[in-house]
Structure 1
Amino acid sequence: MKGTTHLAIGIAIGAVTAAQYPFSPKSTSLYLAVSAFSALSADLDGPSMLSSKISKLSRSLRNFLLWSGFIATSILIYQYFSLGVFYPEYTAASLALFMLGLLTSEGMLRNTLISGIGGGFIYAALLWQMPWLLGLGVFIAIAPWLKHRGMTHTVWAVIAWGLIGQGLEQQLQLPGMMTAATLGYLSHLIADTLTPSGVKWLYPIYKKPFKLP
């Protein structure tokens, strides 16, 4: 399944989730960002369909995401060290943009950069005692080195991602965040189940892929 399709589904899930609660620009943007990122996160596991046969438009979008995330993150880091001002939500959003750009790349450098971001999340989680962020950091650090459509494309990964979403919901006191995260991730696996390769939902207990016509 194409990455653009996963992204569109994730955005749609975020929009539906946001519609269930009182509107505010901040909460709506968070629902959309979490569901969209969740819908693509299963493909953090090494080279994927996102990184093959990239069109000129897709390559431009990738470069835009990479540079936007990099510049925004750099500005936020500068503010933290020079002014002592830190914006955790904006920093996380900037890093998410950067990782979305990396999703369309491949190779050891790409995997190392993503793992480095995961390591940064782990450090921040230990520093600020955020269990959900620790789980996210571990996922991001490990996923790039896994076989594509392996452990990240299982029911176990959906459960783990749901727990991360639950922790984020409790942190932000924003109801529906767990739902947006879980449904976003789940949509990726369901969509991939519709492809000829299918998905090994119960891997490694049951190694045959499930497919739908």
Structure 2
Amino acid sequence: MRGVSHFAIGVLTVVETSILIDKPLSPLTFMISSFCSLLPDIDESHSTVSNLLIKSSFSKAIYRYTLYLINMITFFILIYINKNLTFNFILSFVLIVLIENKLKHTTLRKSLFSALSFILCLSLYYIKAPFAFISLTIFIGVAPWLRHRGFTHSLIGIILFYFLLKEIETIINCPQLALYTSISYASHIFLGDIFTKMGIPIFYPISNKKISLAPFKVGSLSGNIFELVYTFVYFLIVICTFKYKL
């Protein structure tokens, strides 16, 4: 599903859960849990949540300047080794083409995530922050290198995420944070991506088999219509539940 649909379904799921179990949502819990409806796609370098953390325009600019810098360094090294300018121009052009084929924008984005995560981890360690926050930062840095719809879209991913959030819940004294955030996270998988053609590997890494309940392709016309109708019906269900509880 698209990011906007995941977000809407995550918000609706959190609200529906709050109504059913009769446990109020604090503003902080609501904001964090809503954001976490997008978090499973952090294993995709161009996902909505990834673009929220690092703008695509920023990484593209870094990518462009990195190629320029590599080209300049390569050319000056060649000049130092060989005084033939024509040969150096041709060879540096060939080398930059080869480098561009190997160094993709996606690879650079992943490297930026890892670098920023490493810097943040060091900063948190220096100020003696709780290990739960450091672990979450490590996860953000490593996740883009994982296989898309692998660990982050599995039952074990949800379980580990819950226990990590439970630690953070205790530290910041935010009741029900782990519960609502994990439910929102799980809605991305069981109320979202499971209805796509690609499916989800629920039992990863025990099994790589992906389970799909619908043939819709993300971004297709039929997929977009399904997401719109599905979200609207879900919204009506939440309204009916609220009226029934009253």
Task: Please indicate the TM-score interval, normalised by the length of the shorter structure.
Answer: 0.5 to 0.7
Within-5 A mapping of 1:135-150 = 135-150=135-150
Match of 2:88 in 1: none
From 25, 30, 33, the counterpart of 1:32: 30
Q: How much does 1:128 deviate?
A: 2.5
Q: Which runs of 5+ in 2 are unaligned?
A: 60-104, 215-246
**Amino acid in structure 1 at the alignment position of 2:174:** L
Can you list the C-alpha shifts for 1:67-99, whole angstroms capped at 9, x where unaligned? xxxxxxxxxxxxxxxxxxxxxxxxxxxxxxx41
Match of 1:110 in 2: 109
Match of 2:130 in 1: 130
2:44 is the alignment partner of 1:43: no
Going from structure 1 to structure 2, the CA distance change for 1:100 and 1:178 (only over 3 Å counts) comes to farther
Q: Which runs of 5+ in 1 are unaligned?
A: 52-61, 67-97
**Amino acid in structure 2 at the alignment position of 1:45:** D
Q: How much does 1:194 deviate?
A: 1.4
Going from structure 1 to structure 2, the CA distance change for 1:165 and 1:188 (only over 3 Å counts) comes to same
Over the aligned positions, Cα root-mean-square deviation in angstroms equals 2.8
Checking the alignment, whether the CA contact within 8 Å between 2:154 and 2:204 is kept in structure 1 is yes
Within-5 A mapping of 1:153-168 = 153-168=153-168
Within-5 A mapping of 1:50-129 = 50=47, 98-99=52-53, 101=55, 107-126=106-125, 127-129=127-129
Distance 1:192 1:136 in 2: 23
Going from structure 1 to structure 2, the CA distance change for 1:8 and 1:152 (only over 3 Å counts) comes to same
Match of 1:80 in 2: none
Checking the alignment, whether the CA contact within 8 Å between 1:35 and 1:180 is kept in structure 2 is yes
Match of 1:89 in 2: none
**Amino acid in structure 2 at the alignment position of 1:160:** L
TM-score by length of 2: 0.57
Checking the alignment, whether the CA contact within 8 Å between 1:17 and 1:31 is kept in structure 2 is no
Match of 1:189 in 2: 189
**Amino acid in structure 1 at the alignment position of 2:130:** M
Can you list the C-alpha shifts for 1:115-154, whole angstroms capped at 9, x where unaligned? 2343244234433241221221121011001111111111
Match of 1:95 in 2: none
Checking the alignment, whether the CA contact within 8 Å between 2:155 and 2:203 is kept in structure 1 is yes
Q: How much does 1:14 deviate?
A: 4.4
Checking the alignment, whether the CA contact within 8 Å between 1:6 and 1:188 is kept in structure 2 is yes
Query: Equivalent residue of 1:200, what SS?
Result: coil
Relative to structure 2, which stretch is displaced further, 12-21 or 193-202? 12-21
**What is the count of residue pairs matched by the alignment?**
163
Relative to structure 2, which stretch is displaced further, 13-22 or 176-185? 13-22
Relative to structure 2, which stretch is displaced further, 112-121 or 179-188? 112-121
Query: Equivalent residue of 1:128, what SS?
Result: coil
Structure with more relative contact order (C-alpha pairs < 8 Å, separation 6 or more): 2
Within-5 A mapping of 1:202-213 = 202-213=203-214
Q: How much does 1:33 deviate?
A: 2.3
